[in-house]
Structure 1
């Protein structure tokens, strides 16, 4: 009888051990699968100039600018909002990174990075964009300062740009609904309003700057106007266009720029939009593309080139200046481009490969090759 009892107990013990082993194997497999899925969410930084690749634990990289030594980027690192919650500085040589700014909002959205030789600017916002605080950082001292009063309930500040030792942006007083172009000397902290805008829409809320000049657009008397402000002389050149609704103006250099025409926002009918090139010194307007139904992306670079994707094209069409005209030369045949940056002689491409169940990539290179 004792032998039967002992035999039964031994059988039960064996079954328990087998079940524990099976549970452990299943648990390990689940952990491995979860780890693999988590890894797929991470980004891969690919530096083609230095032939270096590294994985970084960020779910998203939305805004980025760089130079020969470092890449600054807004990243989602365990963000409670699911949007970018900090800014990191990535050292291209060592492949190490450090956090230089953490969002001050509970549900954050850090974005809008711009960089030049001396300064970095960005916007710290909440997830809805209802509150936006712009900041600057001195690249030599790493000192961070707000560009404006933080969390001012009466002022809405849009994304700043950099021009030499100045930051410029559009600010609107929410009480009067009057927008102004603001300019701040980052060395002296002096801020001034340089232009009162008539309109404030998705078409003209962004500024562009190059070669000591700031470009912006506005509308008056049923015509679209472009304005070129010289930071040193403080003079503004007004340029009347042949179109009523214009925007997304971007400088190629101090004398040449592009912009888009738009449809009347109050009408449901969709007419074809146009990509326009203008030469200030020649006072010449050139229609580049005239069959635009929707714009996917529009960028310029440091070589007077334009990258334009529209009407759901997979690739970017590339244009460059030749004999004072903007001409198409070839396509940029890189698939799945989510964001693109071309500043300070460095191209940075955010390639979103999540739909293909591969790690998304941030590609760094000084030259573009199809």
Structure 2
């Protein structure tokens, strides 16, 4: 079964890597493969027994992902939450917590995008931002507590880093991105910090905005183009480039405590990565999957068995700490169902 990974998903590339000869002494992980009755889907996330997932409601439109549903993992019960306003849709980037559900309604070509948010207390849906269809930019919202952050092109053709308070319905600009690219279209919210990257005078930089103090710290990156950056427990992870060659990359992390950069290698280059709560997940160019945990500042491998059931494709952590794994199964048999791998926190 093949999956179409849309522009947003193909660019949402995050990873975390490292090596150690020791195996993690950890409790047994809960690893499951969930089958959903849809052939095409985007960005499933989990809250309790509920999966929130964008799916294809009409199998005759092969690559259309047009409906956001709430799917009960235990019972299989479904509830339609939202249907796309676009004739050919690529709904994606779902984020969820106890109070809010955030997602992007997008046309397949990516020129029309909206960031939408649902208030679970009353079911109301509001539009947080819309793209200018004259310019191809990417919406990649991040949800954290009552905040949503993203990058947006303003009327003066300047890309701004936006921060929206869902409780007060206030949106502010906390910074600008001068060299906007596919590398710098993504922001990250974690531990009361908002992270983004940029380039200036042929150097790359990380910018870390504190939600409480409203101060921004600037850190130099090892290469001119840091991208897809993530902040977790005092470390900034990113993929770094000198040019547009994806295979010529340096992946690693900056330890904010010591101000030391650590370069990490997996395969010839990394395909995807993500990090949450001291855990790191990676797939490389050979489609090999790695799962680690920081213990005493060392990356220790965690044994997983889910790869025996599925061939991991795109991976990411959701807001609740579940590692979501697209099952990139190569099978001549075409079915109406899909499989999603989940490693529970």
**Residue 21 of structure 1 corresponds to which residue in structure 2?**
none
1:116 aligns with 2:97: yes
Structure 2 gaps, min length 5: 4-28
Q: Is the 8 A contact 2:33 2:340 kept in 1?
A: no
Describe the superposition over 1:105-137 as per-residue Cα deviations: whole angstroms up to 9, x where unpaired: 111111111122321111111110011111011
Using the alignment, how far apart are the partners of 1:281 and 1:50 within structure 2? 33
Using the alignment, how far apart are the partners of 1:51 and 1:239 within structure 2? 39
Greater helix proportion? 1
The alignment covers a number of residue pairs equal to 314
3-state SS of paired residue (1:148)? strand
Q: Is the 8 A contact 2:111 2:131 kept in 1?
A: no
**Residue 255 of structure 2 corresponds to which residue in structure 1?**
279
**Residue 331 of structure 2 corresponds to which residue in structure 1?**
355
The structure with the largest alpha-carbon Rg is: 1
3-state SS of paired residue (1:171)? strand
1:60 aligns with 2:37: no
**Residue 19 of structure 2 corresponds to which residue in structure 1?**
none
Q: 2:271 aligns with which of 273, 296, 299?
A: 296
Alignment of 1:1-370 (within 5 A): 56=37, 58-78=38-58, 80=61, 82-148=63-129, 156=137, 158-173=139-154, 176-253=156-233, 255-265=234-244, 272-289=248-265, 293-301=268-276, 303-310=277-284, 312-326=285-299, 328=301, 334=307, 335-343=310-318, 344-353=320-329, 355-357=331-333, 359-366=337-344
- How far residue 159 of structure 1 moved from its aligned partner, in angstroms, is 1.6
- How far residue 332 of structure 1 moved from its aligned partner, in angstroms, is 7.0
- How far residue 72 of structure 1 moved from its aligned partner, in angstroms, is 0.4
Q: Is the 8 A contact 1:316 1:331 kept in 2?
A: no
Describe the superposition over 1:40-80 as per-residue Cα deviations: whole angstroms up to 9, x where unpaired: 899xxxxx969896652x22112111122311001111064
User: Structure 2-normalised TM-score?
Assistant: 0.81
Greater RCO (Cα-Cα under 8 Å, separation 6 or more): 2
| Cα RMSD, aligned residues only | 3.0
Q: Is the 8 A contact 2:177 2:198 kept in 1?
A: yes
3-state SS of paired residue (2:109)? coil
Using the alignment, how far apart are the partners of 1:325 and 1:283 within structure 2? 16
Using the alignment, how far apart are the partners of 1:329 and 1:313 within structure 2? 19
- How far residue 236 of structure 1 moved from its aligned partner, in angstroms, is 1.0
